[in-house]
Amino acid sequence: MNAAIPLQRAAPEREPSYYTATIGIETDYPTLEGEHRADVAIIGGGFTGVATALELAERGLSVALVETHKIGWGASGRNGGQITGSLSGDAAMRKQMRATLGDDVDDFIWWLRWRGHDIIRTRVARYGIDCDLRNGHLHAAMKPSHLRELEASYAEAQRRGMGEEVELLDRAALRTHLDSDLYSGALKNLRNMHVHPLNLCIGEARAAHGLGTSIFEHSEVIDIVHGATPTIVTTKGRIRANQVLLAGDVYHRLARTQLSGKIFPAMGGLVATEPLGDLALQINPQQLAVYDCRFVLDYYRPTADGRLLFGGGANYSGHSSRDVAAELLPCIEETFPKLKGVRIDYQWTCAMGIVVNRIPQLGKLSDNVWYCQGYSGHGVATSHIMGEIMAEAITGTLGHFDTFAACRHVRVPMGDLIGNPLLAAGMWYYQMLEHLR
Ligand SMILES: Cc1cc2nc3c(=O)[nH]c(=O)nc-3n(C[C@H](O)[C@H](O)[C@H](O)COP(=O)(O)OP(=O)(O)OC[C@H]3O[C@@H](n4cnc5c(N)ncnc54)[C@H](O)[C@@H]3O)c2cc1C
């Protein structure tokens, strides 16, 4: 069978993936040259930077966004595309945020679970973004302890009025949703969604641009000059702004004095199979996205052109030299025996920013220079919530920002050097615990 025919050819500097092969509209923003002025300058053209830019542009501010490579080049354009209410760090958030929010903490966390879904759905509709957005997700259990966790999630969803949007499936019911013997049950959630993330990110950037945001690609910010009007500096240009947001997640090397040792790269690998034809509906008739309940989990979803896009086994050493297809094909075959020997058309890796306590890190580097990073593998919805929170903060409403900024984070001394081995040891520990659950 043939690989997908690109609607437009992706720029060669993008890491090749299923997403670049099916890119809707390639971006072509200029390199930053000369002196510029903006209300807000944003560093990083992933979801965090783009979502914040769009929020600010909708509020009437002049925004300039600067990206080293291309819009959506990082994790935002290479991820699993799952938009779920599973927040990373929710247990730690609940513990820490009780100090600032008191008894409202549970309501706040519940709101956080779903706010990103609303933002994405609204934007896709408002700006007509073509990104294969679709509802439906399964959180799949592999053993009884997982099922008990899902029962608790289901009970909370019912208490909070989700009604028929969620359904608890036992093994037999799950078998009618997935042609797999791997799972003992699942929580089906029709509010959760899946998406072509690169096309979403590019679509949102185009929307921001349409509202007047200046976007620069091929422009790495090499310095932030702090002061009354902070300035971001590239080799060929500068932008003087009233405020700056650093949204480079794990890819930036700025502000090491304040930020080193706070966030670490884990490498995730993904593959997309050949188009599956009739098999696509046989193995997953409702075309749901799926992930399982393990600490280091497998996640997959059908693509609009009938492939299985499958990810798993994040690598916490921080290195990406892996044969992703060789690693993931056995997992695909174990999950869906009917796919034995399926051809892998695309494989790729990407770094995600991992934070030790898994709470997103929001803060300030100086009076008018902000940062926002670290969604620990759950960033599609979260980055959109954070974009809203950062836009609120930058325009003077600090409530939600302060709640996050007050959270304490572990900072690993010499973290840029030894952080990843420590993280790998930590994940090994969690994988051991997984066996005991
Ligand atoms: C393999 C993988 C699978 C994932 N799957 C899912 C999933 O299914 N669901 C989910 O919710 N989350 C998932 N995630 C996580 C999610 O993709 C990320 O949390 C989210 O995209 C982070 O967005 P971001 O904008 O903060 O960072 P990024 O998308 O990484 O963007 C940061 C950008 O900043 C730019 N930049 C860095 N430094 C500079 C500089 N100095 N100057 C200019 N630009 C700079 C980079 O080039 C980059 O484009 C996954 C992540 C990975 C890696």
d(CA 383, CA 201): 11
Q: In 274-390, at which residue ranges do the beta strands (DSSP E only) sit? A: 289-292, 298-302, 308-315, 344-354, 361-366, 369-373
CATH of the domain at 63: 3.50.50.60
Q: How far is the CA of 353 from the centre of ligand 1 (A)?
A: 8
pLDDT of residue 9: 86
**Per-residue confidence (pLDDT) for residue 414, from 0 to 100:** 64
Q: State pLDDT tens for residues 378-395.
A: 999 999 999 999 999 999
Rounded distance between C-alpha atoms, residue 366 and residue 360, angstroms: 19
- The pLDDT of residue 2: 38
In the chain, the percentage of residues whose pLDDT exceeds 90 is: 86
Q: What is the mean pLDDT of residues 288-299?
A: 94
In a domain, residue 213? The reply is yes
Q: Is residue 147 part of a domain?
A: no
Residues ≥6 apart with Cβ < 8 Å to 257 = none
- Residue 315 pLDDT exceeds 90: no
Q: Which two tokens stand for residue 92?
A: 């730690």
What pLDDT is recorded for position 7? 55
Q: Would you say residue 435 has pLDDT above 90? A: no
* Closest residue by Cα to residue 131 from 303, 347, 365: 303
**Quick check: helix, strand or coil at residue 358?**
coil
- The β-bridge relationship of strands 231-233 and 237-246 is antiparallel
- Whether residue 24 is contained in a domain is answered as yes
Residue-wise burial string across 263-273, b where 16 or more C-beta atoms lie within 10 A, e elsewhere: bbbbbbbbbbb
Pocket of ligand 1 (CB under 6 A): 43-49, 66-69, 73-76, 79-82, 220-221, 247-249, 251-252, 254, 268, 270, 299, 311, 350-352, 373, 375, 377-381, 383
The answer to whether position 401 is within a domain reads yes
46 CA distance to ligand 1 middle (Å): 6
| Ligand 1 centroid distance, CA of 74 (Å) | 5
- Ligand 1 centroid–CA 180 distance in Å is 31
**How wide is the angle at C-alpha 31 spanned by C-alphas 28 and 36, nearest 5°?**
120
Q: Is residue 46 part of a domain?
A: yes
**Distance, CA of 393 to CA of 221 (rounded, Å):** 23
For residue 229, give the 3-state DSSP assignment.
coil
| Across 146-175, average pLDDT | 97
Residues spanned by the domain of 368: 18-79+198-261+360-410
Atom of ligand 1 nearest to the CA of 386: 26
For residue 180, tell me if it sits in a domain.
no
| pLDDT tens readout for residues 328-350 | 999 999 999 999 999 999 999 99
The yes-or-no verdict on residue 437 having pLDDT over 70 is no
Give the total number of structural domains in the chain: 1
Quick: pLDDT tens for 217-247. 999 999 999 999 999 999 999 999 999 999 9
Q: Which long-range contacts (CB under 8 A, 24 or more apart) does 221-224 make?
A: 221/43, 221/66, 221/68, 221/248, 221/252, 221/254, 223/254, 224/43, 224/254, 224/255, 224/365, 224/369
Q: What is the mean pLDDT of the chain?
A: 93
Mutate to test the pocket of ligand 1, among 84, 192, 220, 380 (most ligand atoms within 8 A of CB): 380
- Residue 406 domain flag: yes
DSSP H helix total and E strand total for the chain: 13, 17
For the beta carbon of residue 235, count every other beta carbon within 10 angstroms. 11
Whether 126 is covered by a domain: the verdict is: no
Give the tens place of pLDDT for each residue, 345-362. Answer: 999 999 999 999 999 999
Q: Average pLDDT for residues 253-275, to the nearest whole number?
A: 94
Closest residue by CA, ligand 1 atom 45: 44
> pTM value?
0.95
pLDDT in the model for residue 436: 60
Question: What is the torsion angle, in degrees rounded to the nearest 10, for the CA atoms of residue 330, residue 336, residue 342 and residue 348?
Answer: -60
